[in-house]
Structure 1
Amino acid sequence: MENRSTRRSGQALLVWGLLVVAANLRASLTGVGPLLDQVQGDLGLVPAVAGLLNALPLLAFAALSPLVPRLAARWGPERLLGGALVVLTTGIAVRWVPTASALFAGSVLIGSGIAVGNVLLPSLIKRDFPTRVGLLTGAYATVMGGVAAVASGVAVPIGAVAPGGWSTALGSWGLLALVAVLLWLPQLRRAPQPAPQAKRGHRLPWGSGLAWAVTAFLGLQSLGFYVVVTWLPELLQDNGVSAARAGWLLFLLQAVALLTSLAVPGALRWARDQRALAASCSAVLLLGYLGLLLAPGRALWWSVVLGLGGGACLVLALAFLGLRAQDATGAGALSAMAQSIGYLLAAVGPVLFGLLHTVSSGWRAPLALVCLAAAAQTVVALVAGRGTVRSDDGRAPGRVPPASERAPSSG
């Protein structure tokens, strides 16, 4: 009885740790967009360069994600994640300094820390909670989205009243990262040695068409999200919306996404596969982008529509990393591949969007870009929503799990 109680306490502590880590995976990024106009004015940044503020973390995701499985096999995923949280906290602190060099350097460190968390969370969930992949993925996506929404909404008000203005608004999220470091310390003390299969199973599934479909779905979804959180406030301000209201509209979008994400785990549990769900939610995103393109004056409505589609697509993209894998090692390998290539694709979005805005002196051309991305995502969803990724030689990258762990019944 005591061992069972201790085990349950340990699992509860792990779940809390994972959720607090998830709370830090977007807040330091989504708070940038509402402040971008002030940052550009104070530092003299042109739109394409300003787009790098959220593109640099994505490039860090792309560069580091393939290395995470190998590093986790060497040091253990718990210790690696703990180190990543320290890097993330340092990056936010560096970005508190109101200079362009500190802002960009901090963004790289932030991206490096988040990259590790992005890859390891799906793998840890698949390893420790194999029959609750959909539920816990929905929970961590909800926490991640909720805190990200708050970060967008309070960015301008904090910047208006806090000493240091926008730099304090960006740097204050280091306190939440520090809390995550402290809550993760118990996992460092009890971190297990990496299993032998983890040392053999770091090969990424480059030869799998399904893995490429999952990668494309995650990348296109992320491209749209990071374009929105970077540029939507400025787009709205150019259409007569105040900076504070634009920030709260971005908050509304993410709050709706948060509510939508709560419904997805139930759909994952009962659906035979996720093709129809993923395609329909991607089509909702396309509708929202088309709305901003054709009727920008109805920004309130399109924010709600984008939240409806975006929240579901985020949970699906994250869940695919576990549902399409056969075990924790496979989930880690698929996660590394999908997030490496996917975030490389996503990193192009904010920069290209800003460049198109500069070249065309308007928003129609850049909005057409995200419409095309959403249309492509709708097509890719029909492939990414079903099947199991296998290793290059056709065998599972580790043991064959029992039926209760296999996708999609693990949702």
Structure 2
Amino acid sequence: MAVTRAQQPVVPAPVRLPVRSRLAHPALLLAGILLVALNMRACLAAISPMVAEIQRTFGLSATASGLITTVPVLFQGVGAPLTPRLTRRFGAERVVLGAVLLLGAGVLLRVLPSVYALYFGCMVIGVAIAVLNVSMPGLVKREFPDRAATMTGVYTTTMLVGATFAAATSVPLEHALGGGWQASLGAWSLLALVAAVAWLPQVLRSRQERAATAAAAAPAAGPGRAIEGLWKTPMAWQISLFMGISSLLVYIVVAWMPTILADHGMERGKAGLVFAFSNLLQGVGAFLVPLMAGRMTRQRGLAVSMAALNGIGIALLLAAPVSGAWAAAAVLGIAQGGSLGLGLAFIVLRTGSAAGAAQLGGMSQAIGYVVAAAGPVGAGALHQLTGGWSATLVVMLVLSAVVAVAGWGAGRNRTL
């Protein structure tokens, strides 16, 4: 499975694009990136404490309830391969703006009084997040070429801070607004609107840089050879599997951790706090791990360590779901945030240009989120079949070992 340098495709030298203009100060760029990042997980995490209420509202089964989390993840896999083509056609800045507006629309669709609108809104949210997931590494690679790993940690941490805040405030927001789960979830469309306004200066700047962007992207796109070669490269598949299975574990926790704890006797409000605590510590892992990765030539040990921590956290949930809940939440938070940050860091560390990062991001997230989509619904179905959570947690332990193997390959010192 090793890739020799002779097997690697020859890629033209990357073209560094301009990063500043009179229309977009670097501080505005950073603020825009952070506000966009805040939206990228918030609307998914906000729904987790509300699953039981949504289930009662529409009379859904456990498997159908799992689809509320699964559908956005599945459509992230569907939307990811389209994003490099969209960015070449319209420019990354315009694509990000469109995705943020689409995300806000999906949030509003999801709270309409119809189960069909609920799932269609989830589909729209998934596509919008997919576009942002693939666009952001390329933007970071282009705008911060000398600090790409550090900036990956910054925006990944911000993304998880948004998720933590959403998870912790969903129930209080429901009470404050007095409109049930619909008002609580619908309020997150305002955050998307704020991010869209903050991103407008970048769209204005992109008019000046469209020619340079097209010139840099054209050689990488070529007649399709670079993309085809990427799909035949073992390391690209290893990065994709590392991201995919790590994300599968994350989304099972997002969808079912409060329910697992509540089913073992923990009070619902406390279960939500444990979940929020885990999300909070994901931000620590998401910031520190990419920072460490950027200072290493190889990240094999780091990847295996994240997989091992995942396994330890899952084992704690299996052995002591209530008494060990806080410890499990802490370990899983560090491991899952670190795995997410490391997966995104692999995209910028294993490529030599913004266009290459977009292509690898499109492939890895297309595969990754299709794999991850099986997590919430599969866990729900397995729970329904067995009447408990032990079988699900054992499967998660096995998958942690697979993550370690994929991470060992992805952490090699190679450039695609």
TM-score > 0.5 by shorter chain:
yes
**Equivalent runs, 1:328-339 vs 2, <5 Å:** 328-339=354-365
Out of 50, 55, 63, the position equivalent to 2:65 is: 50
After superposition, give the CA deviation of every residue in 1:8-60 in whole Å (9 maximum; x if it has no partner).
96222112111111111000001111111111112111111111111111111
Deviation at 1:179, TM superposition (A): 0.4
Measure, in 2, the Cα distance between the counterparts of 1:147 and 1:358.
31
Measure, in 2, the Cα distance between the counterparts of 1:155 and 1:4.
37
Q: Does 1:359 align with 2:374?
A: no
Deviation at 1:6, TM superposition (A): 5.8
Q: Does 1:306 align with 2:332?
A: yes
Q: Does 1:279 align with 2:299?
A: no
Partner of 1:72: 87
Q: Match of 2:231, SS? A: coil
Partner of 1:176: 191
Partner of 1:196: 215
- 8 Å Cα contact 1:36-1:234 kept in structure 2: no
Q: Does 1:158 align with 2:173?
A: yes
**Equivalent runs, 1:73-92 vs 2, <5 Å:** 73-92=88-107
Out of 229, 241, 265, the position equivalent to 1:240 is: 265
- 8 Å Cα contact 2:23-2:204 kept in structure 1: no
Q: Does 1:142 align with 2:142?
A: no
**Equivalent runs, 1:253-272 vs 2, <5 Å:** 253-272=278-297
Deviation at 1:95, TM superposition (A): 1.5
Measure, in 2, the Cα distance between the counterparts of 1:30 and 1:150.
9
Deviation at 1:278, TM superposition (A): 1.1
Amino acid at match of 1:267: M
Measure, in 1, the Cα distance between the counterparts of 2:216 and 2:202.
21
- Structure-2-length-normalised TM-score: 0.90
Measure, in 2, the Cα distance between the counterparts of 1:60 and 1:270.
34
Measure, in 1, the Cα distance between the counterparts of 2:74 and 2:32.
26
Identical-residue share of aligned pairs (%): 38
Q: Match of 2:112, SS? A: coil
Q: Does 1:26 align with 2:41?
A: yes
Give the direction of change, closer, same or farther, for the CA distance of 1:4–1:237 in structure 2 (3 Å limit): closer
Measure, in 1, the Cα distance between the counterparts of 2:29 and 2:19.
15
Measure, in 1, the Cα distance between the counterparts of 2:64 and 2:317.
23
Deviation at 1:389, TM superposition (A): 4.4
Amino acid at match of 2:220: G
User: Between Structure 1 and Structure 2, how many residues are aligned?
Assistant: 388
Partner of 2:372: 346
Measure, in 2, the Cα distance between the counterparts of 1:83 and 1:5.
22
Q: Structure 1 stretches of 5 or more lacking a match?
A: 391-411
- 8 Å Cα contact 2:173-2:184 kept in structure 1: yes
Out of 311, 315, 338, the position equivalent to 1:290 is: 315
**Equivalent runs, 1:110-129 vs 2, <5 Å:** 110-129=125-144
**Equivalent runs, 1:313-324 vs 2, <5 Å:** 313-324=339-350
Deviation at 1:358, TM superposition (A): 0.4
Give the direction of change, closer, same or farther, for the CA distance of 1:247–1:197 in structure 2 (3 Å limit): same
Give the direction of change, closer, same or farther, for the CA distance of 1:339–1:5 in structure 2 (3 Å limit): closer
Measure, in 2, the Cα distance between the counterparts of 1:54 and 1:133.
30
Measure, in 2, the Cα distance between the counterparts of 1:292 and 1:22.
30
Give the direction of change, closer, same or farther, for the CA distance of 1:265–1:7 in structure 2 (3 Å limit): farther
Partner of 1:397: none
Give the direction of change, closer, same or farther, for the CA distance of 1:282–1:292 in structure 2 (3 Å limit): same
Measure, in 1, the Cα distance between the counterparts of 2:23 and 2:127.
32
Partner of 1:375: 401
Q: Structure 2 stretches of 5 or more lacking a match?
A: 1-17
Partner of 1:395: none
Partner of 1:208: 233
Partner of 1:219: 244
- Structure-1-length-normalised TM-score: 0.91
Q: CA RMSD in A?
A: 1.8
Out of 19, 28, 32, the position equivalent to 1:13 is: 28
Deviation at 1:280, TM superposition (A): 0.6
Give the direction of change, closer, same or farther, for the CA distance of 1:98–1:387 in structure 2 (3 Å limit): farther
- 8 Å Cα contact 1:156-1:243 kept in structure 2: no
Amino acid at match of 2:272: G
Measure, in 2, the Cα distance between the counterparts of 1:186 and 1:25.
20
Deviation at 1:201, TM superposition (A): 2.1
